[in-house]
């Protein structure tokens, strides 16, 4: 055994002796707060100053931690949550942009074919159950006017909005 082991053994034996032979009666006296005499503080010049207590007075628990039943998250509380995110940038409120101008609907016609008759082109179109044979300057159902037929495209005007649209009719045969 080393000297360190002897010291540890002596400590254990001493603790055991205190346990067996020590006083087992609790102390009946309660320690109370005592006013201490305070020595006057001295300035560097050597003159005495008013006495300052060395130990500050205890504050009531309600002043330090709040009343019974209060939580720690209240206003001015110790453990209040903190938001560390930067504030969002300030943006100027602008009026909504004006709605886009109305647009013509997509062409409702299906191209069926074309033919050259009397030096002008005729185009065969279908819409639902109807079949149309149109030439330049023909008005279809009061909504579309054929402006030009020049393969590979036919140009139509949507009359309610006066917008021009084109339909692919294929190349010259």
- What's the pLDDT tens digit per position in 8-24? 999 999 999 999 988 87
pLDDT of residue 90: 86
Q: How confident is the model at residue 45, as a pLDDT?
A: 63
Query: Which residues sit opposite 151 in a β-bridge?
Result: none
Q: What is the pLDDT of residues 68-120, one digit of tens each?
A: 666 555 555 566 677 889 988 888 888 888 999 999 999 999 999 999 888 89
pLDDT top residue among 125 and 49: 125
What average pLDDT is seen over the chain? Answer: 83
Residue 154 pairs in a beta bridge with 149, 167
SS (HEC) of 23-68: CCCCCCCCCCCCCCCCCCCECCCCCECCCCCCCCCCCCHHHHHCCC
Yes or no: say if 140 and 123 are a contact pair by the CB < 8 Å rule: no
């Amino acid at each position: 055994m080393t000297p360190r082991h002897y010291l540890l053994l002596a400590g254990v034996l001493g603790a055991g002796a205190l346990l067996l032979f020590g006083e087992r009666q609790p102390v009946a006296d309660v320690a109370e707060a005592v006013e201490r005499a305070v020595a006057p503080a001295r300035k560097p010049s050597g003159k005495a100053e008013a006495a300052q207590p060395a130990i500050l007075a205890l504050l009531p628990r309600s002043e330090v931690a709040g009343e019974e039943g209060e939580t720690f998250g209240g206003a001015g509380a110790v453990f209040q949550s903190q938001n560390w995110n930067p504030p969002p940038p300030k943006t100027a409120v602008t009026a909504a942009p004006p709605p886009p101008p109305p647009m013509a609907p997509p062409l409702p016609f299906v191209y069926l074919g074309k033919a050259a008759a009397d030096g002008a082109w005729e185009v065969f179109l279908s819409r639902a159950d109807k079949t149309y044979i149109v030439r330049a300057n023909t008005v279809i159902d009061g909504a579309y006017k054929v402006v030009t037929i020049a393969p590979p495209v036919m140009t139509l005007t949507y009359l309610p909005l006066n917008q021009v649209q084109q339909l692919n009719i294929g190349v010259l045969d």
